[in-house]
Amino acid sequence: MEPDIRRSSGIVPEMLREYGAIVREELQHYLPQREPRRFLYDLVADYPQRGGKMMRSSLCISTARAFGASLEEALGSAIAIELMHNALLVHDDIEDESEERRGRPTLHRLHGVPLAINAGDLLSLMSLRPLLDNIDFLGPELALRILEETDLMAQETAEGQAMELGWRQENTTSLQTSDYLEMVLKKTCWLASIYPIRIGALIGTRGQVDLDAFFHFGFFLGASFQIQDDLLNLERDDGRYGKECDGDLWEGKRTLMLIHLLKHSSPEERERLCALLSCKREERTHRQIRWMHKLMITRGSIQHAERIRDRLRDQALIEYDRLFEHLEDSPDKRFLQEIVPWVIHRDVA
Amino acid sequence: MEPDIRRSSGIVPEMLREYGAIVREELQHYLPQREPRRFLYDLVADYPQRGGKMMRSSLCISTARAFGASLEEALGSAIAIELMHNALLVHDDIEDESEERRGRPTLHRLHGVPLAINAGDLLSLMSLRPLLDNIDFLGPELALRILEETDLMAQETAEGQAMELGWRQENTTSLQTSDYLEMVLKKTCWLASIYPIRIGALIGTRGQVDLDAFFHFGFFLGASFQIQDDLLNLERDDGRYGKECDGDLWEGKRTLMLIHLLKHSSPEERERLCALLSCKREERTHRQIRWMHKLMITRGSIQHAERIRDRLRDQALIEYDRLFEHLEDSPDKRFLQEIVPWVIHRDVA
């Protein structure tokens, strides 16, 4: 019997552990050991040292290797991806007023907003360093193409983040599924999957590849990842999920579930929801959050999001065939296939 | 009679206008005209469009031209400098809780902290774009050396900002002049003068230059500029100064004047000062700020800062001779000399 490709074997966590350990180790060399430690470099090193799935960097390495590159050739870009990812987490946590990250208080809660903004700024620009070091390993032409991709990714990511923040700030309550998917494409998919896979493919093929071909796979994979992330946020905190439970509801985040709920609630419920969403975070009560959560269950909003997530997963698997099936079999190729169901069945945020 | 080199003729404002207009015009092409405007690109374009002295970009262009390059060859780097400068202003204003910038409310006061952080992030990474475009004008080798310098500048700037924010956050009251100068070297001088002059020299000499030679000139110039900036902050608001008057006192900024005052006040005054500095901004009163300001005058703290500023200016002029005097006479060369007294006699912040 054929294995069910919508299920994931153990290869994904295994390779995330393996590649993650290497990237984390090498990333240390990019964290300066100098003053000012207490006001800057301790903060810069904090999120990268808290762990994390290392999904983004592993996607880059496995794509590069599946196309024939060595791990060493992809390592600098993988480190850059993790630095940029952590930089954005620091600033996102301030923007979202998040309280926990990877099981600990967020950086700005530990050190105040000013120092956390500054540390995030440096982390972001520090991701340039390994991309410049790429020149020695990949030559100037390929290194510069990767920098070009970085520029594109940064723009898309900021656009997506602006959309989401703007909706919350203006208390937009008339969004469609397509608005959410466009926002997630930009906010999440570029850095989570499109960019890592594209630069992996650039490295693996020495620039001999049409990057546009990878766009859809990255989108389907990243979007199902984000929807699952939003769903995990609604599950009980059992210690494995590193953020506060129902954090998205406290923050008024425009998830698929919330967009669905706003469309499928009674006029009275909708009115109450809109009023609740227009409040500041600290004005909301536990009781109100529980009510919103329950309503999402009874109105089928969670099932609705699960259905869309699963459809995106199926699309990602079709794209996988088109992009990678012709490549020689390898653990990296299997990783790229099995990460598709993994993003849904993982139990870590 | 020889002209007094400690005075500035009209050439500095004239060239700032000329180069400033060109850079501002060309910078427009790097500001995307697309959605989301209201949540992102309007914010990204705001500070660059408010004006500003254009001192940093003009220093880069004039150094490049004094060494024989064309304006076009320096233009991309000049644009990158302004983008990075504006990016840091957006985040600095949040970190310092500043209320005004270039005569208008700060960006986060207009759009909220989350959207302002995000716009600053993009502005910062957008400065990469013209530096990548440098490849076409300067070739990959020189373009990459400029990117290396950018990496260095970013690190120094973040270190200086962290020092200053850390001192305020921990209410440090035992600082020395040397602490202030080290902080200003990092926070201000790298982006304001060291980096623009170094990349100008790289471009002008096609990389055939010892960059370390420019370090001292950049430091002396940038530090006298920053001290003058701190002094201007204490002068009455006559409309030409774009920030709120006494803003640094409200923010508890560790200026030379404050450091001097803490050392030269009576035990009772010192106690009152330390208590006042430990308050939050909104807990301070106009009366207290006026008292602190007056005490700075009577204790000679302002004169003390002026003396250090003037000594730094004299050192900068000595360095000027060493670095530029052998070059053929040109308006750009005169600009580099006359900008030294100008940073002190300017009446704009």
Block residue for tokens 């099981």: A103
Q: How far is CA B53 from CA A348, B165, B347, in A?
A: 50, 25, 11
Mind listing the pLDDT tens digit for each residue in A51-75?
899 999 999 999 999 999 999 999 9
Nearest residue in A to B88, CA atom: A121
Does a structural domain hold residue B4? no
Domain count across chain A: 1
Does a structural domain hold residue B2? no
Nearest-CA neighbor of B121 among A154, A202, A284?
A154
| CATH code for the domain in which residue B19 is found | 1.10.600.10
Instruction: Report, as an integer, the average pLDDT of A268-280.
Output: 94
pLDDT of residue B281: 86
Residues of A in contact with B88 (CB under 8 A): 121
Given an 8 Å threshold on Cβ–Cβ distance, is A40 in contact with B162? yes
pLDDT of residue B235: 84
Find the CB nearest A118 among B32, B39, B162: B162
Residues of B in contact with A94 (CB under 8 A): 113-114, 117
In chain A, pLDDT over 90 holds for what percent of residues? 90
Does a structural domain hold residue B93? yes
* ipTM confidence score: 0.95
Q: How far is CA B88 from CA A95, A316, B14, B82, in A?
A: 17, 39, 26, 10
Nearest-CA neighbor of A177 among A227, A247, A215, A217?
A227
Mind listing the pLDDT tens digit for each residue in B220-263?
999 999 999 999 999 865 455 566 778 899 989 999 999 999 99
Mind listing the pLDDT tens digit for each residue in A173-213?
999 999 999 999 999 999 999 999 999 999 999 999 999 99
Rounded mean pLDDT for each run of 10 residues along chain B, 349 residues in total: 63 96 97 96 97 96 98 98 98 94 96 98 97 94 94 98 96 96 98 98 97 97 97 73 78 96 96 94 92 96 98 98 96 97 84
Nearest residue in B to A127, CA atom: B151
Does a structural domain hold residue A66? yes
Range of the domain at A295: 11-345
Residues of B in contact with A125 (CB under 8 A): 124, 150-151, 154-155, 158
Q: How far is CA B39 from CA A93, A251, B235, in A?
A: 18, 18, 35
Task: Look at residue B207 and give its three-state secondary structure.
Answer: coil
Does a structural domain hold residue B245? yes
**Omega before A36 cis (within 30°)?**
yes
Q: For chain A, give the mean pLDDT.
A: 94
How far, in Å, CA of B86 to CA of B124, rounded? 8
Does a structural domain hold residue A129? yes
Answer yes or no: are the C-beta atoms of A26 and A81 closer than 8 Å: no
DSSP string for residues in B8-69: --THHHHHHHHHHHHHHHHHGGGS---S-IIIIIHHHHHHHHT----HHHHHHHHHHHHTT-
pTM: 0.95
Answer yes or no: are the C-beta atoms of A236 and A332 closer than 8 Å: no
**Omega before B36 cis (within 30°)?**
yes
Answer yes or no: are the C-beta atoms of A257 and A306 closer than 8 Å: no
pLDDT of residue B245: 78
| Residue B241 or residue A320, greater confidence | A320
Find the CB nearest B121 among A40, A128, A158: A158
Does a structural domain hold residue B242? yes
Find the CB nearest B166 among A38, A121, A144: A38
User: Where residue A84 falls among pLDDT bands split at 50, 70, 90?
Assistant: very high
Q: How far is A87 from chain B (nearest CA, A)?
A: 10
Does a structural domain hold residue B3? no
Written as one letter, the residue type at A329 is D
Block residue for tokens 């059992």: A238
